Amino acid sequence: MTAKYGKRDCVVCKVWYLVLLCTVLCVSSPVLAKWKPAEGPLMTRWAKDVSPKKAHREYPRPQMARKYWQNLNGLWDYAIVTKDAQQPEEFDGRILVPFPVESALSGVMKQVGENNRLWYRRTFKVSGSGNWRKGKRVLLHFGAVDWDTTVWINGQEVGKHKGGYDPFTFDITDALKKSGNQEIVLSVWDPTDTGNQPRGKQVKKPGGIWYTAVTGIWQTVWLEPVPETYIKAVKIVPDIDNSTVDVEVDTIGDISQYELNAKVKGKGHLQISGGTPGLNKCTVKIEAPKLWSPDSPFLYDLEVKLMKEGKTCDEVDSYFGMRKISVRKDQHGINRLCLNNKTLFQYGPLDQGWWPDGLYTAPTDKALRNDIEVLKELGCNMLRKHVKIEPARLYYWCDKLGLMVWQDMPNGNNRGDEARKQFEMELKRLVDNFRNHPCIVMWVPFNEGWGQHDTERYSALVKKWDPTRLVNEASGWSNKESGDVRDIHSYPGPARPPNEEERVAVLGEFGGLGLPLKGHTWQAEKNWGYRSYETRSDLTKAYVALLNNLRPLIGRGLSAAVYTQTTDVEIEVNGYMTYDRAMVKGDIKQMAEAAHKLYLPPPIIKTIVPTSQEQGLEWSYTTDRPRGGWEKPGFDDSSWKKGAGGFGTKGTPGSVVRTEWKTSDIWLRRTFELKDTKFGQPHLQIHHDEDVEVYINGVPAAKLKGFTTDYITTPVSERVHEALKVGRNCLAVRCRQTSGGQYIDVGLADIIEQSK
């Protein structure tokens, strides 16, 4: 242009070009300028980064990546019609994919319900380049669609899928036109909690621990060209004991004349390669393997190729971590969770994976990463992904940043043979689709008996499908004595299940310390927590005390604990963070310091004065207010009654009632003998419901408010330590009850910390 026209003419041409471009954009894409999120109750700071051109543009499958692909996220047409209606001729408007239709970021924020069906439509073009067309098949991928999906391409049905959490793929090659616009149409029906399918915490009428329903596309939609014979999936099994990694490839097409080649890299350096002509599996030796752990989340890059006559026919890039999860007995014969053959206490939050603006879908990939970074900063080394399966990107960030994952299977009602068949199929898909992620160390088929059935069979099945990971048969409640783990829940706790010969003891849920912060809640009032606080300082103190009470339980056999929870969710305000992720509600430094203490070697616990949990010990007691000095050693309690601890009403959580106590107040006294007073850190072992005062030799040892649901451990002051003496000592207790069940029992133990 500059050779033919002068400089001024060039400027004029450029101006006219810009005018023409703007005209074309305005005519062809009028909706782009109009789109905006719906006005939801609460938004995250990442919502401003979301637009039709910036809706989850990252490659969605990090563990099996190809060079060429096409993202179909963005604006689609949508319509909500009655369930049995045909495809609508006119659509209701535009929706931003991949955000569910009920979310603010979809731009729609409408409920669908079991009596309606959600329809999607958009057009796209397939590249005419050789990488996409010549001798290629075109695959259409969906990260996840909730729940019952049918897909058409250019009016031709290409497939159906049932399942709200697993990725699925259709080969659409034969339905494509040779050129021009291609049309994709989706029909989605979701019965939510009126059906029996796996659906997690979605309900039609949210409240408490149940949240807003999600319908339709909620993960990335994308296209990918592959050759006629191609790699469908890669299975990666590391073996740190033998310094090897097995690579097994599932293929489409006949590979009898092909060679599989797997190259393992570390820090970009080619380490070793192995090829097995005509077979789909090879074992690669890893010299001096660098192990993956939360403190050092080292990942090896893996390149897998299908080759024929020296030519690469298909290739994918992947990665893996050399790590091992197992249960082993320690020197005291207690089962412990081990990472890479070393005992490591596992601690982190119950992670719901909900977002105020995107519901099931995080606003951006940076938002996904932020949650993991905050948990690491708080001193966590794991999370329990609660009755939801995330996009592969979430597990990628856990792999990369170093956070172990307990993966729940989403719950459903599971009523009837068809529902149970669907549950088993989706559970198998979960294991198959996500087994390569080093971060995942445990599968959890059931939670708290929600839809629980055939537990022992499922535990055995999951172990058969994936023998490299642990199986937690059911987190909380219904113990069927299968799997690798005995898991209980205790709010606020902490507590531990009894030690077993074969299984390891874990606390699958505890905590739930609530704090609503004005301006950061789903609704202005009527938010709730398992136990609520009014200031960030009070919350921090309670959290630190809660974690300090975990240390003695570790000494007695506890191997993991799951705190409720990562963030607030809708009206539930038990999170480390507010629902909008705007702030951490406690003091990060103090919370992290408390968490890091959990990873020290388990303390040694020596009983000084036993509780009555195992065997009833005699106390003197009265329910009438005694005269002054009742807490001192010389007090005459001969007129008091005698009874075996503990005292309370049957049915109080965690209690072992041996003497009934139903009045508002009770006073207790007993003596104990000591041969020496050389203790490390004396602690009270106590279960109280409600407020309690404890004295040792007349010196105040503890004044505790509220209630516990199991025995906890709390330190005594240095003054109490000094008051202990060789010979006879006195333990005196007052407990006050105002409502509900009641219980009191007290003992004394010495906690001795071991050196690293």
Domain boundaries along the sequence of the chain: 1-34, 37-227, 241-320, 606-752
pLDDT one-digit tens code per residue, 327-369: 999 999 999 999 999 999 999 999 999 999 999 999 999 999 9
Asked, colleague to colleague, whether 37-227 and 606-752 share their fold, the answer is yes
Residue 2 above 90 pLDDT? no
Per-residue three-class SS string for 623-651: CCCCCCCCCCCCCCCCCCEEEECCEECCC
pLDDT one-digit tens code per residue, 117-167: 999 999 999 987 778 878 899 999 999 999 999 999 999 999 999 999 999
**In the predicted structure, residue 649 carries a pLDDT above the cut 80:** yes
Strand 691-696 versus strand 727-736 pairing type: antiparallel
Q: Please give the helix or strand (H or E) that residue 44 lies within, else none.
A: none
Q: C-alpha angle 381/385/391, rounded to 5°?
A: 110
Report the pLDDT value the prediction gives residue 756, as an integer from 0 to 100: 63
Strand partners, 404: 382
262-312 per-position pLDDT tens digit: 889 865 555 555 555 556 888 889 989 999 999 999 999 999 999 888 899
What distance in Å separates the CA atoms of residue 529 and residue 522, rounded to the nearest whole number? 14
pLDDT digits (tens, 9 = 90+) for 501-518: 999 999 999 999 999 999
pLDDT value of residue 173: 96
Amino acid at 725: K
Highest mean pLDDT, choosing among 261-270, 573-582, 746-755: 573-582
For 716-732, the DSSP string reads PPHHHHHH--SEEEEEE
Angle subtended at Cα 671 by Cα 669 and Cα 677, rounded to the nearest 5 degrees: 130
First to last CA, the chain: 74
Name the percent of the chain lying above pLDDT 70. Answer: 94
Residue 273 has what pLDDT?
Answer: 55
Distance CA 744, CA 684 (A): 13
Name the 3-class secondary structure at 313: strand
Q: Are 511 and 574 in contact (CB under 8 A)?
A: yes
CB 33 within 8 A of CB 289: no
Region at 486 (left for phi over 0; alpha for psi -120 to 50; beta for the rest)? beta
Average pLDDT (618-638) is 96
CB 275 within 8 A of CB 261: yes
Crossing angle of helices 455-465 and 417-434, in 10° steps, is 30
Helix/strand/coil for 379: coil
Q: What is the mean pLDDT of residues 625-645?
A: 96
Question: Residue 32: is its pLDDT beyond 80?
Answer: no
7 pLDDT above the threshold of 50:
no
Give me Rg for the CA atoms of the chain: 30
> What's the average model confidence in pLDDT over 98-110?
98
> So what's the pLDDT on residue 754?
80
Tell me the mean pLDDT in the region 320-330: 97
- Count Cβ atoms below 10 Å from residue 631 Cβ, excluding itself: 23
For the segment(s) 37-227, the CATH number from 3.40.50.720, 2.60.120.260, 1.10.510.10, 3.30.43.10 is: 2.60.120.260
> Can you identify the CATH homologous superfamily of domain 606-752?
Galactose-binding domain-like (2.60.120.260)
Rounded average pLDDT over 47-54: 96
pTM of the model: 0.90
Q: Tell me the pLDDT of the chain averaged across its residues.
A: 92
The residue count of the chain comes to 756
What fold does the segment set 241-320 form as a domain? Immunoglobulin-like (2.60.40)
pLDDT score recorded for residue 76: 98
Given this model, what pLDDT does residue 471 score? Answer: 98
